Amino acid sequence: MPFEWRTEGRTLLLLTAAFVAALWIPFDAPRFENSLHEAFALLQWYAREHVVSCLLPALLIAGAIAVFISQGAVIRLLGAGANKVVAYGIASVSGTILAVCSCTVLPLFGGLYKRGAGLGPAIAFLYSGPAINILAIVLTAKVLGFELGAARAIGAVSFSVIIGLVMAALYRREERERNATAGGGDMVLPEDGFAFSTGAVVALFALMIVFLVFANWPKADPADSALWHAVFEWKWPLAGLSAAGAALVLVLGLGFCWWRVALVAALVAALAVALPDQPQFAIAGGVVGLCVVAALQPGAGRDWFEQTWGFAKLILPLLLVGVLVAGFLLGRPGQEGLIPSAWVAAAVGGNSLASNAFAAIAGAFMYFATLTEIPITQALLGAGMGKGPALALLLAGPALSLPNMLVIRGFLGTQKTVVYVALVVVMATVTGMAYGTYAG
């Protein structure tokens, strides 16, 4: 058979790289051995502290969003003829509903724009889709601190609206011509597959979010208010009540099989009583039990399970690999990985214009799979990264990547793509500097 570079050449390159690595990687060097230890130590800490109590319930919420909230209804509000306040408002928070990465959002953006969505709302949607992922916002607050999580959420929503408005203003003449040529650009979208009681859906999401908040309520410091201390002391009873309320909504409001839900509730209660100091077992039992109940429930329940499982398959492997890589290269906070902390501090330490710009530009060209930016940022912070550059990285990185830019260029052309990327990078840099000054 002839040698085909497209297939065999790739195999040859991989084998060559593996052979060179086997020859030259200093496996017995103390720094390399310590880096391997840091990789798995960070993975273990991440799994114990964040995956069960934070990520698993958040995956359930993300799966429920995909089923119980009408994506089609959201998209219909982004057309060129839609109310601008409504269009930008919906587009700016669409990421909480879609939970996509910088590349997954591209076909959705392309479909919207080509079928008549206004440039401004479409750009707001393009940025917010990967930037305001509900899993990312929750995990950012849990792992990196509430302040940085809140700053990321507020910054991402603000960015999407401002960038969309600026792009619409800069290219308003082209947009008028496009709309006239397209005859108004009516959007043809599929009908929604489910109809649920609005009250039941709102109650379910409210209770699941309340559970997520209380289950991850951090330990109070001596300087915190009495209310904060009281909530921490009662966090698990409050989380349990919210979980029980969600179970009632599933049965009474959404028609789930009552005895299956009751069995899961009994399992969770038994684990909570038997292992009061290890609540992760009760949480894991509840999540797994609810997934089984949903999988056995025809219609929306099964769809909920499939969406949750889809998010888990997509996110968990990438997240765990990202944690391992971050631990290997940068170590745990306060520890050394393969890359010396002094190098990190020199590039993105402090709160200078150069450090914020470097973080924003590097983040814009890197590809972050969903949620992997969090352990990477955590490791960078531990190695000496400033809080301002950390926020700049979080605001520019998930929304952009080099593959993302190349595809956007195919939809918008070179000039609009360059302007869009420049707006993201400049705003991330400025916002990072402002936050770094505030955070000290």
Tell whether 151 and 211 lie within a shared domain.
no
Q: What distance, in Å, lies between the first and last C-alpha atoms of the chain? A: 64
Residue 35 maps to a domain: no
Examine the fold and report which residue of 298, 329, 346 is the final residue of a domain before the chain moves on.
Answer: 298
Q: What pLDDT does residue 190 have?
A: 44
| Single pTM value for the model | 0.69
Tell whether 250 and 349 lie within a shared domain.
no
Per the CB < 8 A criterion, the answer to whether 329 and 339 are in contact is yes
DSSP 276-332: TT-HHHHHHHHHHHHHHHHHHSTTHHHHHHHHHHHHHHHHHHHHHHHHHHHHHHH-S
- Domain range for residue 292? 198-298
- 368 against 144, higher pLDDT: 144
Tell whether 167 and 57 lie within a shared domain.
yes
Position 427 confidence tier, pLDDT thresholds 50, 70, 90: very high
Phi, psi of 79 (to 5 degrees): -65, 165
At 26-76, the pLDDT tens digits run: 777 788 888 888 889 888 887 877 788 878 888 888 788 778 876 555 556
d(CA 427, CA 421): 10
Average pLDDT, integer, range 234-239? 92
Tell whether 93 and 173 lie within a shared domain.
yes
Tell whether 180 and 202 lie within a shared domain.
no
Per the CB < 8 A criterion, the answer to whether 32 and 338 are in contact is yes
Amino acid at 156: A
Phi, psi of 360 (to 5 degrees): -65, -45
Tell whether 172 and 105 lie within a shared domain.
yes
Tell whether 434 and 325 lie within a shared domain.
yes
Residue 245 maps to a domain: yes
Tell whether 323 and 434 lie within a shared domain.
yes
Per the CB < 8 A criterion, the answer to whether 125 and 112 are in contact is yes
Tell whether 145 and 250 lie within a shared domain.
no
At 288-311, the pLDDT tens digits run: 999 999 999 998 899 999 988 988
d(CA 129, CA 122): 10
Tell whether 238 and 280 lie within a shared domain.
yes
- 42 against 402, higher pLDDT: 42
- Ranking 12-26, 190-204, 227-241, 355-369 by mean pLDDT, the lowest is 190-204
Domain count, the chain: 2
Residue 180 has pLDDT above 70, yes or no: no
